[in-house]
Amino acid sequence: MATEKSKSTDQARVRATALRQAKDIEDRKKLQTRIADLVVEAFDLPSRSDADPANPDPADASLFRHCLSLFQASDLDDLIYERNVDNRCGYALCSRPNQKLAHGGEKVWNRKGGKDFKLINRTELEKWCSKSCQERTAFVRAQLGKEPAWLRIIRAVDIKLLDELDADSLTKSFKTLAIAKADDDEMAGKMQALALERGELDVKSDDSSVNVMERSTDMIPEAPTLQGGHREGVVEGHAPRKVHFSGK
């Protein structure tokens, strides 16, 4: 009797586990389908052909934020790719075409010199119409969820757009993004560079003074001499080996 009861309990537990897993899979499929639909909705943005990404239509901006709230970086990449195939800027609120570089190579100069000189992929630059839209996309990308939406405790992420923030709000946003702790080091570097370029991040500097003391002496400097005095056959301090050749 006890054995039958234990067996029945085990079967009930297995059945409950199977039902829970089936429900999780079903919820995941529904959410994946919803995210795919959001990519399509963002693809159709903006609603006007003369839309300005620096001053987007409020309804377009609201829809774009809603789409991004469930996106991962890979979903944003899918959106950018689809828009580029349609010869449009990868930033969803921009109505302009993406730029086409005349340079035929895979690598192009980043138009910077010195320590900032870098060769970058031509395809990366051709995703956008301008550097401004590239920065706008980098700003929203840094806010996207790291995990798939179906694994998050809070599925929707509150996304802010770069052009909707004033100087004070922008400063707070850069600080709260925890740029230095981002998993993507390259993206973290881009966001830090963007923050510094806009003057929104404080750069810590050492303001402590350094005392420089000049020593005085009455000694007259002398020309250096070789140790051991002058040596014959020495050329600039080097004594060549003496090699003897035997005659034929």
Of the pLDDT bands very low, low, confident and very high (cuts 50, 70, 90), residue 2 is low
Same domain, 143 and 176: no
Query: Residue 31, by phi and psi: left (phi above 0), alpha (psi -120 to 50) or beta?
Result: alpha
| Closest CA relative to residue 107, chosen from 94, 97, 118, 121 | 121
Q: Is 195 helix (H, G, I), strand (E, B) or coil?
A: helix
- Could you tell me if residue 4 is inside a domain? yes
Q: Is 142 helix (H, G, I), strand (E, B) or coil?
A: coil
Same domain, 176 and 118: no
- Last residue of one domain, picked from the residues 141, 163, 185: 163
Q: How does pLDDT run across 204-239, given as a tens digit for each residue?
A: 445 555 566 677 777 777 776 666 555 666 666 666
Same domain, 135 and 193: no
User: How would DSSP label each residue in 15-79?
Assistant: HHHHHHHHHHHHHHHHHHHHHHHHHHHHHT--SSTT--TTS--HHHHHHHHHHHHT--HHHHHHH
On the CB side of 187, how many CA atoms lie within 13 Å of its CA? 18
Distance CA 38, CA 72 (A): 12
- Could you tell me if residue 222 is inside a domain? no
Domain that holds residue 183: 165-197
Query: Rounded to the nearest 5 degrees, what angle is found at the Cα of 103, between the Cα atoms of 82 and 128?
Result: 30
The CATH number given to whatever domain includes residue 61 is: 1.25.40.820
Query: Rounded to the nearest 5 degrees, what angle is found at the Cα of 238, between the Cα atoms of 236 and 240?
Result: 130
Same domain, 169 and 153: no
Instruction: Give the pLDDT confidence score for residue 89 in this predicted structure.
Output: 96
- Could you tell me if residue 214 is inside a domain? no
Instruction: Assess whether pLDDT exceeds 70 at residue 65.
Output: yes
Same domain, 6 and 52: yes
- Could you tell me if residue 17 is inside a domain? yes
Mean pLDDT of 10-22: 81
Same domain, 192 and 142: no
Same domain, 69 and 172: no
Q: Are 164 and 140 in contact (CB under 8 A)?
A: no
Same domain, 115 and 129: yes
- Could you tell me if residue 247 is inside a domain? no
Q: Is 159 helix (H, G, I), strand (E, B) or coil?
A: coil
Q: How does pLDDT run across 179-211, given as a tens digit for each residue?
A: 434 444 555 565 556 666 655 555 444 555 556
Distance CA 162, CA 36 (A): 24
Domain count, the chain: 2
Same domain, 137 and 189: no
Same domain, 20 and 39: yes
